[in-house]
Amino acid sequence: MAQPHPASANGASGVEQHNGTPAFSPLYQQIKGLLLGSLQAGEWKPGESIPSEMDLAGRYRVSQGTVRKAIDELAAENLVVRRQGKGTFVSTHSEQQSSFRFLRLTPDAGPMKNPAAPQRHIIDCRRARATAEVARALLMKPGDGVLHLRRVLSFSNTPTILEDIWLPGPYFRGLTAERLAADERPMYGMFEAEFNVHMVRAEEKIRAVLPDAEQRRLLNLDGTQMPLLSVERVAFTYNDLPMELRRGLYRTDAHHYSNVLS
Amino acid sequence: MAQPHPASANGASGVEQHNGTPAFSPLYQQIKGLLLGSLQAGEWKPGESIPSEMDLAGRYRVSQGTVRKAIDELAAENLVVRRQGKGTFVSTHSEQQSSFRFLRLTPDAGPMKNPAAPQRHIIDCRRARATAEVARALLMKPGDGVLHLRRVLSFSNTPTILEDIWLPGPYFRGLTAERLAADERPMYGMFEAEFNVHMVRAEEKIRAVLPDAEQRRLLNLDGTQMPLLSVERVAFTYNDLPMELRRGLYRTDAHHYSNVLS
DNA sequence: CAGTGGTCTAGACCACACT
DNA sequence: GTGTGGTCTAGACCACTGC
């Protein structure tokens, strides 16, 4: 990583890969990769600060500006948060108001300054075998052990979301309905602290569906014919490893899924 | 903007506003504001290149790095696209594959390398008076003149999207059903070229709904009871001015609305 | 070849938070 | 005051594009 002279050639410059594309990778990308490795290895835990830019510049034998650009990209991806005068901190789902980082359901009245966290009710929590569909999403083999949760989220005592959640079993040993019910933290915050699983990114596929009888019952929708939003999410950790498949059914008569395009 | 010495104090530094908050604004933010003004004024048209970083640095009496940071932010907001070796270009909706920049509907089979643009069918195009709801969204007064479009988008001959579109009348003089039907460009691309209206950002609110009889008819859904996605969009131009209200009804039996969270 | 954006460095100073 | 991230400059060289 050390450069013999200022602005000297990049170490990888000019190297060709077997497929013929140049292997050029900017220094700051390499630094970013090293930082990602440290995050993934748990060298710095969520909520903690990482070393200062000057420290990292010294460690990697690189100028502060290069470290800065690497951290800029991590911050743009929400993996770290910069706080002027204090330092750079590993992102966490455990803070207040982070219940909604991955939950894009907003009251129709408009977002409040302090949106209330939903009430949670665990309906089911059991070990099971991965179906073909679950296995595909979680990069497992059909029949592998998974943990299946089902819960209902309510806003001001109105059941609004019914969620089925599938987690790869080996990463979540010891997770039970009792522990889930007793825990006050957002689920992803608890995953960080208890199972060292940090969700970093997610993809959602949204459809309109009609609930079946059981789904209507669990959401107190009997006697009505209300269409629901089906939100199918795959959540990923640092290394783009899928660690959760979640299917939510959202009532949208008093809320809406909000999104920004640019 | 000129600095008497390198790294001298920022021009606005230390200034206080009446409300007591410091008026500090980094130089690069001021440059960004000037660039935004030029974009908004049409000094550089969509698709054209803006002056080189060195040129702009000279024009504003600032270092290249400062201009660079300003352009970086514009690029992050998709207002501008950088192309190494060629220049920096004003974003446009008129290019190939940009039909889907604001349309997040994906075939369930998975995105293709060259997604086919949907077939378009104009159902209605008329001048009307803004309802209270439309006026609120477009920052107009109820009763002001608006243009109301209705169209159907089809994928491989299956009507899939029914859209109602409201535009502020004064900005779209001369837009008729005939012109719309004859135009091959994406609608936002045509808006840029013909009406100098460049959509830059949009907010969408998504719900699950049941179509009424007329909506079912227009989407060839008679005889079925299919829930649809209601996608309500407000699109904005450079100065955060809302220039379009659009309500789409999406079939999601063979497509899904896809979104990425981070 | 010249011109563009992209990377990297070194050094200075500013704004902010803690002590 | 000290240490953090944030801004700004000046200059060098690299990678890509097109003449």
Cα–Cα distance, B153 to B176 (Å, whole number): 18
Going from N- to C-terminal start, the domains of chain A cover: 27-90, 104-257
CB B243 within 8 A of CB B237: yes
Of the ranges A106-115, A191-200, A240-249, which one carries the lowest mean pLDDT score? A106-115
Q: What is the pLDDT of residue B28?
A: 97
CA distances from B117 to A240, B53, B154, B244 (A): 31, 35, 9, 21
Query: Per-residue pLDDT for A37 more than 80?
Result: yes
Q: Which residues pair with B182 in a beta bridge?
A: none
Nucleotide minimizing C1' to CA distance for residue B10: C14
Residue A7's pLDDT band, with cuts at 50, 70 and 90, is very low
Total Cβ atoms within 10 A of residue A67: 25
Report pTM: 0.92
Nearest to B161 by CA among B250, B245, B224, B258: B250
Residue B167 touches partner A, C-beta closer than 8 Å: no
Q: What is the pLDDT of residue A248?
A: 98
Query: Which of B78, B227, B229 is the closest to A206 by Cβ?
Result: B229
Cα–Cα distance, B74 to B76 (Å, whole number): 5
Residue B77 touches partner A, C-beta closer than 8 Å: yes
User: CA–C1' distance B58–C3 (Å)?
Assistant: 16
Report the share of chain B in percent with pLDDT over 70: 90
User: CA–C1' distance B206–C3 (Å)?
Assistant: 47
Residue A224 touches partner B, C-beta closer than 8 Å: no
AA identity, residue A198: H
For the stretch B114-147, pLDDT in tens is 778 899 999 999 999 999 999 999 999 999 999 9
Cα–Cα distance, A7 to B138 (Å, whole number): 52
Contact A258 B228 (CB under 8 A): no
Residue B238 touches partner A, C-beta closer than 8 Å: no
Contact B77 A200 (CB under 8 A): no
CA distances from A125 to A25, A146, A164, A227 (A): 45, 11, 10, 26
Element (H, E) at A261: strand A255-261
CB B75 within 8 A of CB B82: yes
Q: Residue A248 region, left (φ>0) first, then alpha (ψ -120 to 50), else beta?
A: beta
Cα-Cα-Cα-Cα dihedral sign, residues A72, A75, A80, A81: positive
Distance of residue A254 Cα from the nearest chain B Cα, in angstroms: 10
AA identity, residue B141: K
Total Cβ atoms within 10 A of residue A129: 15
Query: Which of B101, B204, B250 is the closest to A259 by Cβ?
Result: B204
Q: Specify the 3-state DSSP secondary structure of B79.
A: coil
Tokens of A24: 């050029």
For the stretch A11-34, pLDDT in tens is 444 444 555 555 689 999 999 999
Average pLDDT, chain A: 91
Which string of b and e fits A143-178 if b means at least 16 CB within 10 Å?
A: eeebbbbbbbbebeeebbbbbbbbbbbebbeebeee
Contact A208 B252 (CB under 8 A): yes
CB B233 within 8 A of CB B246: yes
For the stretch B14-25, pLDDT in tens is 444 455 555 679
Mean pLDDT of the region A81-102: 90
With contacts defined as CB-CB under 8 Å, which chain A residues touch B233? 261
- Strand bridging mode B158-168 / B145-155: antiparallel
- Positions 27-56 of B with beta carbon below 7 A from strand C are 50, 52-55
For the stretch B18-75, pLDDT in tens is 555 556 799 999 999 999 999 999 999 999 999 999 999 999 999 999 999 999 999 9
Residue A247 touches partner B, C-beta closer than 8 Å: no
Query: Per-residue pLDDT for B13 more than 90?
Result: no
User: CA–C1' distance A40–D3 (Å)?
Assistant: 27
Total Cβ atoms within 10 A of residue B122: 15
Q: Specify the 3-state DSSP secondary structure of A103.
A: coil
Residue A127 touches partner B, C-beta closer than 8 Å: no
Cα–Cα distance, B78 to B89 (Å, whole number): 10
Residue B257 touches partner A, C-beta closer than 8 Å: yes
Residue B100 touches partner A, C-beta closer than 8 Å: no
Cα–Cα distance, B137 to A76 (Å, whole number): 30
CB B237 within 8 A of CB B200: yes
Q: What is the pLDDT of residue A15?
A: 46
Residue A217's pLDDT band, with cuts at 50, 70 and 90, is very high
Q: What is the pLDDT of residue A124?
A: 97
Report the share of chain A in percent with pLDDT over 90: 82
Element (H, E) at A236: strand A228-236
Q: What is the pLDDT of residue A14?
A: 40
Cα–Cα distance, A262 to B235 (Å, whole number): 10
Mean pLDDT of the region A146-159: 97
Residue B252 touches partner A, C-beta closer than 8 Å: yes
Q: What is the pLDDT of residue A111?
A: 76
A:B CB pairs within 8 Å: 104
Within 8 A by CB and 6+ apart from A31, the residues are A1, A56, A60, A62, A66, A67, A70
Query: Per-residue pLDDT for A3 more than 70?
Result: no
Q: Which residue has the tokens 């009889």?
A: B213
Average pLDDT, chain B: 91
Cα-Cα-Cα-Cα dihedral sign, residues B89, B93, B95, B99: positive
Element (H, E) at A218: helix A213-218
Would you call B158 exposed, middle or buried from its count of C-beta atoms within 10 A (0-12, 13-18, 19+)? middle
Distance of residue B229 Cα from the nearest chain A Cα, in angstroms: 5
Mean pLDDT of the region A195-203: 96
Q: Is the CB of A174 under 7 A from strand C?
A: no
With contacts defined as CB-CB under 8 Å, which chain B residues touch A104? 259, 261
Q: What is the pLDDT of residue B113?
A: 72
CATH superfamily of A104-257: Chorismate lyase-like (3.40.1410.10)
Of the ranges A73-82, A152-161, B97-106, which one carries the lowest mean pLDDT score? B97-106
Residue-wise DSSP of B163-176: EEEEEEGGGGTT--
Does the domain made of B27-90 have the CATH classification 3.40.50.2020? no
Tokens of B21: 């908050």
Query: Which nucleotides of strand C come closer than 7 angstroms to any CB of the protein?
Result: 3-18
Q: Spell out residues with C-beta < 7 A from strand D.
A: A 6-10, 13-14, 22, 24, 50, 52-55, 65, 68, 82-88; B 3, 6-7, 10, 26-29, 62-66, 69, 83-86
Q: At residue A22, what are phi and psi to the nearest 5 degrees?
A: -65, 145
For the stretch A163-193, pLDDT in tens is 999 999 999 999 999 999 999 999 999 999 9
Contact A260 B210 (CB under 8 A): no
Q: What is the pLDDT of residue A151?
A: 98
* Topology of the domain comprising B98-257: Chorismate lyase (3.40.1410)
Q: Which residue has the tokens 């889930």?
A: A180
AA identity, residue A167: L
Cα–Cα distance, B35 to B50 (Å, whole number): 9
Of the ranges A219-228, B52-61, B62-71, B96-105, which one carries the lowest mean pLDDT score? B96-105
Query: Which of A203, A233, A258 is the closest to B203 by Cβ?
Result: A258
DSSP B22: B
